[in-house]
Chain A
């Protein structure tokens, strides 16, 4: 008999003895020992697979806590993923828009149910001197306002709901793009390198779910000043 075979027999004898002891404890009439449910569970687990039981016993507390936290996190992710996959409303509530940039293009891609409400009327409150509103075009989900001065220079304000069925595509061809804040709202400033051509400022009002584009032959400071003055002229009925 080899040493390993002897080890195995001893291991078996020890386990059988523990099993018998555990069974006897259950049948014992004396009040000295009443095994708890946890104790019984532990004994059962140990008798089924002693090595595994020992490994689990020796695992440090932090590791057990981390494992539990990971399980809870995984359950939350699965639940969240399920809601996002099957509920368009939930998905739209979380991800309304994505800005994709590749090469000379910036695409703003929207998702979410179409907003049936009429867009409010926004306008530039602080226009440069001499400019007046010339035209206002309105479609269900987007509006364009054209301002003109006496020299036939224009400022364009366009805004639209960020929802499915609409998108904005910018083509840059070498123009600079920089991140900018319009008040508390994130935006981008697109600067033309051609003297005399328009620069463009776009920003997103996530609370109202609206993207704005403002462009005209003005520098960043002036366009930003105008953008920050964009406000409601009239709310829809």
Chain B
């Protein structure tokens, strides 16, 4: 019984690992046009069946400024813009999940010139 259970368990573990093996990428960008912050990000999973939910949030220092969300399968793009102040530093954080599993947030920073 034990001799049968171990290979089955190993097979299940390997299958689970393979199912999780994927390439993902995200490319957040924060740019400024005068006193407007233009924020965008694309998130991509390697299967077109994967459901992706993404939110980009702009912070001035640690204070919330604005956020935008979008969802899609395989690929999602989210963008938005808002008024900002010259000389202040901003941080754009991308939070996204693939099939309900939250991924590590990605961050870019910039200062409004």
Contact = CB atoms under 8 A, between A and B. Distances in A.
B27 A166 contact: yes
B31 interface: yes
Contacts of B19: 194
Contact of B25 (A153, A170, A196): A170
A62 B28 CA distance: 55
A221 B94 CA distance: 33
A158 B29 contact: no
Interface stretch (A24-32, A35-43, A140-148): A140-148
B47 interface: yes
Interface residues of B, number: 34
Contact of A215 (B31, B44, B79, B109): B44
Contacts of B48: 152-154, 198, 217
B77 A190 contact: no
A140 B20 CA distance: 34
B49 to A, nearest CB: 9
Nearest to A143: B42
B21 A175 contact: yes
Interface residues of A, number: 38
Interface in A153-190: 153-154, 156, 158, 160, 164-175, 190
B65 interface: no
A177 to B, nearest CB: 10
A137 interface: yes
Contacts of B106: 167, 169
A174 B96 CA distance: 20
A153 B73 CA distance: 12
A175 B30 CA distance: 29
A213 interface: yes
Given A167-B108, A171-B22, 5 more contacts: A137-B77, A152-B48, A167-B27, A173-B22, A197-B46
30 contacts: A114-B31, A114-B110, A137-B42, A140-B31, A141-B31, A153-B48, A164-B110, A165-B29, A165-B31, A165-B108, A165-B110, A166-B27, A166-B28, A166-B30, A166-B108, A167-B28, A167-B108, A169-B25, A171-B104, A172-B23, A173-B20, A173-B23, A175-B23, A192-B22, A193-B18, A194-B18, A194-B46, A197-B47, A199-B23, A199-B46
Interface of B: 17-33, 38, 40, 42, 44, 46-48, 74-75, 77, 79, 103-104, 106, 108-110
